[in-house]
Amino acid sequence: PCNLYKFHRPRLNLKETPHPLKEESQLCLRNLAAYRPPRTKLRFPRSRCAAVLVALFVGRMGDLCVLLSRRSSTLRTYAGDTSLPGGKVDPEDRTIEDTARREAFEEIGLPMDKSKVPLLCTLEPFLAGNAVIVTPVVVLILDNTVRPILNASEVTSLFSHPLLSSEPPFPNDPESIELRYHTFEEYNYHGKPPGRIRMHRFLTGREAGGVKPVFGLTASILIRVSTIGYAQEPEFQVSSPDQPTMEERIVYALRHDANLLEAQRQEGLDPDKVPSPASPRPVSTKPDVRKRRRRVWSRL
């Protein structure tokens, strides 16, 4: 038995980045490195746990970008989608960080060396559409000599994208003129409490080449990373007014989803003892007063 959510957090020296950081990029990295997700009493069946790696790196202009991949069209699930590297926990993984790093190494060849790719933080778990509990692991690539090695059976292509913003990062691209950079759809949620779930979509600027927009769980994760890092809410409304919290949705799934119920029983967890969701605890998004206040979401 091991604690999947126990981590070693290295000290981060921002002077070691390959390119000089912009002020908001420094603030973003410091905020992410200081972030700790709220504690939860929920216990997840290991066989239904997964992780994705949010691999950030510093661009030549000092901005922060994230690595995204185009999934192979031959995969059984989410074929062709734009996604973050990741997958389910394997028996040899001792932490959820190990899972994210191993999957990124297997999919895109990202080194597992923690000195070259140090951990910034982990986020609170997300519930995927296939009833898998997904934990995002945020890292920073310090080695600019890293070159991708794609596993063709899983990944068709790899590209970088600026951390999500309200305005398109490619204003002169024809796609951004003809199509809205950011849109969303809402879906009825029939769990408890019932409501509507808002799913966001962001263009990548590569749609003409067949790359799908950033959508669904990947978009939600990147919105969360940007909100924590830049310490300010997006200018658009992230959630529907009656949208249940992610923890409420996870609790309902643990109590009612057939796959999660079976996994809990097989691993000796009692679904009848799943605790109720904690009261939502607001996360401070007040910008650091020592920094110049900048509306990053609208300017990037």
Q: pLDDT tens, 161-202?
A: 888 665 666 655 555 456 788 899 999 999 999 999 999 999
- Amino acid at site 52: V
Do residues 45 and 125 lie in contact, with contact meaning Cβ atoms separated by under 8 Å? no
Band (pLDDT 50/70/90 cuts) for residue 34 is very high
* pTM (2 d.p.): 0.86
Residue 295, both tokens? 């509306």
Question: 126 with 87: CB under 8 angstroms?
Answer: no
Give the 3-state secondary structure of residue 42. coil
Where residue 109 falls (left for φ over 0; alpha for ψ -120 to 50; beta otherwise) is: left
| Averaged pLDDT for residues 190-218 | 90
User: Which of 144, 228, 240, 234 has the alpha carbon at shortest distance from 181?
Assistant: 234
| Domain range annotation of the chain | 23-165+178-266
Of the ranges 59-73, 133-147, 198-212, 256-270, which is most confident? 256-270
Longest dimension (CA), the chain: 56
User: At the topology level of CATH, where does 23-165+178-266 sit?
Assistant: Nucleoside Triphosphate Pyrophosphohydrolase (3.90.79)
